[in-house]
Homo-oligomer: A and B are copies of this chain.
Amino acid sequence: MEQPMRRDARRNAERLATAAGQIFRERGLDAPLEEIAKAAGVSAGTLYNRFGGRDALIDAVMPDVVEAKVRAAMVRAEAEADPWDGFVLYVTLLCEMQATDLAMSDAVSRRYADAKRLNEICEAQMDGVRGLIAKAHAAGRLRADFTAEDLPYLLWTTSTVVRATASRAPEAWRRALTFTLDGLRPAAAHPLPAPPLTAEQVHAVMLDLGAKRSGQGR
């Protein structure tokens, strides 16, 4: 039943995937699809035939890369003896990815409604994050009022700073991140003026970010 794809079709699909990987990485997940088609040496129509639109293309190209990178970061973080060091390492590694790969930056800080696989992977990763945070809390090395739902903030903010400063001061984000991390130690804690977002709110905001630009709410 799985009638095999024609050879040229498969070849083109692979070229498209490769091109998408490159261009997403360089320009983010909002890169023009026609640019990707051109880079793959096919017409835009073919891209829409093989995949079906941006989200499907993203979901075909990104999940493996994202999973591998994010999992590797988690492994390294969990290998740290000190839970705080583990937490810091994890956050720093994620930000490093954002700084060196715009596709990762978008994949981690936005949600594309129809990129199901990608969303599942990101969701799954949250479990690991909760563990990391729980350990740091248990060890009294992370302020008690910091929750897993606060992490997206860090990624959103780094995403901004990184894009703004990428060409002129590629390491600048580390400085901003350090300021914030310094505020996350228990000793630094002062009362917070607002509750954390709920998991649903985080998800909804990420969907907004993923859905085209402009529209600010409604």
Q: Which residues does A use to contact B, with CB under 8 Å?
A: 26-28, 102, 143, 146, 150, 153, 156-157, 159-161, 163-169, 171-172, 174-176, 178-185, 187-190, 192-197, 201, 204-205, 208-209, 213-214, 216-218
Given A150-B179, A156-B160, A182-B190, 11 other A-B residues pairs in contact with their CB atoms under 8 A: A153-B179, A157-B157, A157-B176, A165-B201, A169-B205, A172-B194, A175-B192, A179-B192, A181-B183, A187-B188, A188-B188
Given the interface pairs A161-B153, A188-B188, A208-B164, the reply to whether A194 lies near B174 with Cβ below 8 Å is yes
List the B side residues contacting A187 at CB < 8 Å: 187-188
Given the interface pairs A150-B179, A160-B156, A188-B183, the reply to whether A205 lies near B168 with Cβ below 8 Å is yes
- The answer to whether A150 and B175 have CB atoms under 8 Å apart is yes
- The answer to whether B178 and A180 have CB atoms under 8 Å apart is no
Question: Of B166, B167, B168, B179, which is within 8 A of A184 by CB?
Answer: B179
Q: How many copies does the complex hold?
A: 2
- The answer to whether A174 and B157 have CB atoms under 8 Å apart is no
Chain B proximity of A2: nearest CB distance (Å): 40
Question: Of B102, B185, B201, which is within 8 A of A188 by CB?
Answer: B185
Measured in the bound complex, the distance between the Cα atoms of B143 and A187 in whole Å is: 15
- The answer to whether B192 and A178 have CB atoms under 8 Å apart is yes
List the B side residues contacting A180 at CB < 8 Å: 179-180, 183
Measured in the bound complex, the distance between the Cα atoms of B163 and A165 in whole Å is: 20
Given the interface pairs A160-B159, A184-B183, the reply to whether A171 lies near B193 with Cβ below 8 Å is yes
